[in-house]
Structure 1
């Protein structure tokens, strides 16, 4: 099968990438997908919220490719947040899901799938996520879900700077009209991360003393560490929903929960970082091993049934159509 690099998706996203890089912006939304939309075209331009968004769920990944584990992280988070909110309010919470791709990854060099192909895979994943919600419309709280999904780019490599770029962007700012609620100018961010990513977020090696010295967040002592200065605004602005990763490298779930108890020592006496972190079970109900690496191997060897265990149907169809990873 011949690669279809001139597909509308890749053409659209390649132009979006070029425009983003030239703009020198730190964050931008390049595509929006609504569950209520029946349009099959990928050329869905960014759709700014028409009303205030309470919660922005952010899945930041290399999406190389997005797997069913990524999907489960997103769908379970949205459904649980909605369920928790409905337990105290008769009205559904206003949410959006942001699939975020960094063009400057702090740990992983760009390889295999080009960025425009990854964006196309993110669009395919968005369709798979919306399909999950559509299939469960009869079951509350899913029946209340019509969650727009945004596909975004960032030039920032670290979570604290990504979070700041999103918060400073006009895209999610409170709508500027008199009747708009003014309790919060920007939505609360909920970052979906794996346990291995949690360890990296709180590793001191990523935080050097800034030059010139950065201003110390209000409430921190003058001797605050570079990590405290960088992460305090993130932890005051956002929550981290962490999927545990029991294995030989990271230990079992008990070990991972125990590590979380030490996190407040890193934040300092005035902060309570552990209260902003939720640990969720990392067991995926399906294939025994789910990973982007396993998915790429299945695609390379054209083992399509195995690939279907690793990724959603729209993602699998795009990989097969484009023959991604075959030459990897």
Structure 2
């Protein structure tokens, strides 16, 4: 590993250790460009496994930033005591750092943050209850929206309604939809939102440009033998500097099942 890359991995490793020792629910580990004393009134939160960050993450964030002042890239690190595959948390934070720096060049203020909270209602509390931001918006894909709203992911309907009421008092959702073999057409996904009791707190954007883009597909291609077709598809799925990080550090070379 090159010296600058090793230095960044070591930096995030130390910051992660300090975060876990603090017992805080959420903490910002770095900000690009450097933080200032002036804070915006609106915060956009992109909560993902970033395993790795893809063009879909970047496109969704850039589109949403047209109406929001600041972006937080949020990584859940709840499983700190077990080895995380295919890429560890410090490595993923380095990839997120590449994305954050590029978005900062475009004029965005981007925080890299970590949390040990698994539920959206728990994740929003440390940010929204701080009183810093007038509005907090979570940026999600349709699959995540389903997990948030669908009653089968809760003990029962009453428990879901209590949890969601707490969440939507503090935040909104901005959902990017795209045609999917699993979730149906864009119209079907939009109807799902419109039929929800929480539709007034959910905004929808179309994300056709990112159709077929996923972290799992990037990992699959990285494990495949090289070739022109492989390189062209990877160039469509992931930023070239992030891909350079992945290849130079041999990330995702071993076949391991993991969330996308």
TM-score per shorter chain, which class? Answer: 0.7 to 0.9
Aligned length: 248
Provide closer, same or farther for how the CA distance between residues 4 and 202 of structure 1 changes in structure 2, counting only shifts above 3 A: farther
Contact 1:245 1:253 in 2 (8 A): yes
Q: Which residue number in structure 2 is paired with residue 149 of structure 1?
A: 110
Q: CA deviation at 1:4?
A: 7.4
Shift of 1:26: 0.5
Q: Shift of residue 261 of structure 1?
A: 2.2
The answer to whether residue 144 in structure 2 is matched with residue 192 in structure 1 is no
Structure 1 regions of 5+ residues with no counterpart?
35-43, 83-94, 134-145, 175-185, 210-223, 265-272
Aligned CA RMSD, in angstroms, stands at 2.4
Which one of 194, 198, 201 corresponds to residue 276 of structure 1?
201
The separation in 1 between residues aligned to 2:212 and 2:181, in whole angstroms, is 14
Whose helix proportion is higher, 1 or 2? 2
Q: Deviations over 1:278-325 (max 9, x none)?
A: 11112116xx62111111122223544432221112211211221211
**Structure possessing the higher radius of gyration over alpha carbons:** 1
Check conservation: 2:177, 2:204, Cα contact below 8 A: yes
SS of the counterpart of 2:86? coil
1:64 is paired with a residue whose SS is: coil
1-side partners of 2:4 and 2:91: how far apart?
A: 9
1:4-41, Cα deviation, whole Å (9 max, x unpaired): 7971111001111111111111000001111xxxxxxx
Matching residue of 2:220: 297
1:321 matched to which residue of 2? 248
- Matches of 2:20 and 2:223, distance apart in 1: 30
1:241 aligns with 2:166: no
> Does the 8 Å CA contact 1:27/1:154 hold for their aligned counterparts?
yes
CA contact (8 A) 1:207 1:230 kept: no
Q: TM-score, normalised by structure 2?
A: 0.87
1:128 matches 2:89: no
Q: Does 1:204 align with 2:203?
A: no
Q: SS at the partner of 1:62?
A: coil
Change (3 A) 1:238 1:160: same
1:106-132 deviation digits (Å, cap 9, x = unpaired) = xxx94200000010010011123234x
Separation in 2, partners of 1:6, 1:318: 8
State how far apart, in whole Å, the 2-side matches of 1:29 and 1:249 are.
34
| Preserved CA contact (<8 Å) 2:173 2:201 | yes
8 A contact 1:3–1:323 mirrored in 2: no
User: How far apart, in 1, do the equivalents of 2:86 and 2:150 lie?
Assistant: 28
Secondary structure of the 1:225 match is: helix
Distance 1:248 1:78 in 2: 28
Runs of at least 5 residues in structure 2 that lack an aligned partner in the other structure: 256-260
**For residues 203-252 of structure 1, what are the alpha-carbon distances to aligned partners after superposition, in whole Å with 9 as ceiling and x for unaligned?**
2244348xxxxxxxxxxxxxx92112111122122111101131221110
Provide the secondary structure at the position in 1 that maps to 2:168.
helix
Q: Determine the C-alpha separation between the residues in 1 that align with 2:3 and 2:119.
A: 33
The equivalent residue for 2:30 is: 31
The residue aligned with 1:163 is 124
